[in-house]
Amino acid sequence: MIEIQEASVTYPNGVHALREINLRVEKGEFVFLVGATGAGKSTLLKLITRELLPTRGKVIVAGRNVAEIPPQEVPYYRRMMGVVFQDFGLLPNKTVWENVAFALRVLGLPRKEIRKRTANAVDLVGLLRRCDSFPAQLSGGEAQRVAIARAIANDPPLLLADEPTGNLDPDTSWDIMQLLSHINIRGTTVLVASHDKYVIDRMRKRVVMLERGAIVSDVPCGVYAHEP
Ligand code: ADP
């Protein structure tokens, strides 16, 4: 699903955010990307979303070299991935239902299809009864569930999450990771950047650790604190 070959990213200010990274993520995997703030996790996710191109090396997603995708095709390329952020990113003046449906409307799907997919996604995250609530009426965990519903409503093969539990308490964080795991078991490849040690240690998933822009360990059923 993802193949990163010898990729480096140097920002215009001279910061070397990633240094000759090699990473292969197979279809259907669940991978934690861990490391301290500034280690390069978000930069790596941005290579996959093609917000950034590598300064050197190659990024191949679903068989496509992202550097070769013409700018006008980037929005179509991004349809194959859902993205979830720490701050949920919901539209405050739209209901739960509208926040999810809106993402599908942008794709130009027929109304009936939008209704069906919205209902499925909102149901999957367990929020059907909160359909008419506005983001300000939701708990942090519920708001993140809506963001996840929106990210997967189009059933993309890849789900990326950047610190999805950064604003949540430990129990809620655990529930959100369980939900991401459930989505993974249904067939979606999931890549989660996190430094939520409490949750990562309990999940026993593959853990790729970044330190100052380099991958320093990659363990199949790892914990955050694993020493290489
Ligand atoms: P993480 O997500 O692990 O916290 P980032 O990928 O955000 O790490 O950052 C990696 C390094 O790149 C840090 O030193 C950060 O300060 C730097 N950095 C991130 N974004 C930019 C940018 N737009 N311009 C310059 N430097 C950046």
> Where are the domains positioned within the chain?
2-219
Ligand 1 centroid to 15 CA: how many Å? 8
**Range with lowest mean pLDDT among 45-49, 107-111, 143-147, 149-153:** 107-111
9, 42, 83: which to mutate for ligand 1, most atoms within 8 A of CB? 42
pLDDT of residue 225: 66
Instruction: Answer whether residue 205 shows pLDDT above 70.
Output: yes
43, 46, 48, 212: which to mutate for ligand 1, most atoms within 8 A of CB? 43
Mean local confidence (pLDDT), 94-106: 95
CB 54 within 8 A of CB 47: yes
Q: Tokens 């367990």 identify what position?
A: 126
What b-and-e string marks burial along 66-90, b requiring 16 or more CB atoms within 10 Å of the CB?
Answer: beebeeeeeeebbeebbbbbbebeb
Residue 162 Cα: closest atom of ligand 1: 2
- The upper half-sphere exposure of residue 85, i.e. CA atoms within 13 Å in the direction of its Cβ, equals 6
CATH of domain 2-219: 3.40.50.300
Mean local confidence (pLDDT), 69-95: 95
Mean local confidence (pLDDT), 101-128: 94
**Range with lowest mean pLDDT among 130-134, 168-172, 188-192:** 168-172
